[in-house]
Amino acid sequence: MTIVLKPTADLPSGSFVLASASPRRARLLDEAGLSFRVVPSRVEEEERPGESASALADRLAREKALDVAARLGPEPATRVLGADTIVVLGDEVLGKPRDESHAVELLSRLAGNRHRVLTGIAVGWSDDRGVLSRVVTTEVTMRKATRQELLEYVALGESLDKAGGYALQGAGSRFVVDVRGSRSNVIGLPLEETLRLLDEAAGLEADASPASRQEDLSR
């Protein structure tokens, strides 16, 4: 799949900007037949002390959307989709592996256990009319695996850029025995919820007052 990066001014009506360089998110949106271009955010994915997993995913998604929206400028008014996916085991957020050894370590902790995958999604406007966000949670159960199995999987090379060190859409599916909730969420973008959020954001009025905008966003 090739994503065509179009100038914002040339985007068709109803299109948007994806604030992510993730090929998995782009593929999901492309397969859904949506029109968009890619402008990766520059937000650092750092966890704050005492921040819950849900709050982390929501904050990062909003920050990514607003970062790109601010860089685009108000004319023409453009929707911007930001997203952030994290893996949570118990109360601990497991990030992306630092290297292959760390990937094996993360997978050894997930193997034989149930974990949660949270994706924050946020849609903002480049003309600062507001931002909407949601957090979608999916529960994933993995079977037990030997260290040799994990080493062989990590050697395939699909672990290092993925939270938790595995890809449900790839060879990592060999370890997954149950998915409760959105499967696309585990891949990196809960598609059904994202489509709804894009539609909701399209309804934000450009001339709404700050007070009415805040009311909309708190629903």
**Mean pLDDT for the stretch of residues 87-93:** 95
Tokens 């859904």 found at: 32
Q: How far is the first Cα of the chain from the last one, in angstroms, to the nearest whole number?
A: 37
Q: How far apart are CA 86 and CA 83, in angstroms?
A: 10
What is the chain's mean pLDDT, rounded?
Answer: 88
Q: Are 135 and 118 in contact (CB under 8 A)?
A: yes
Supply the pLDDT for residue 206. Answer: 58
What are the pLDDT digits (tens) for 20-39? 999 999 999 999 999 999 99
Q: Are 86 and 146 in contact (CB under 8 A)?
A: no
Tokens 């292959």 found at: 100
Is 67 catalytic? The answer is no
Picking from 19, 25, 11, 69, the residue whose alpha carbon sits closest to that of residue 41 is 19
Number of continuous H segments (helices) and E segments (strands) in the chain: 7, 7
Domains of the chain: 8-205 (3.90.950.10)
Find the catalytic residue in 10, 58, 67, 84. Answer: 84
pTM above 0.95, yes or no: no
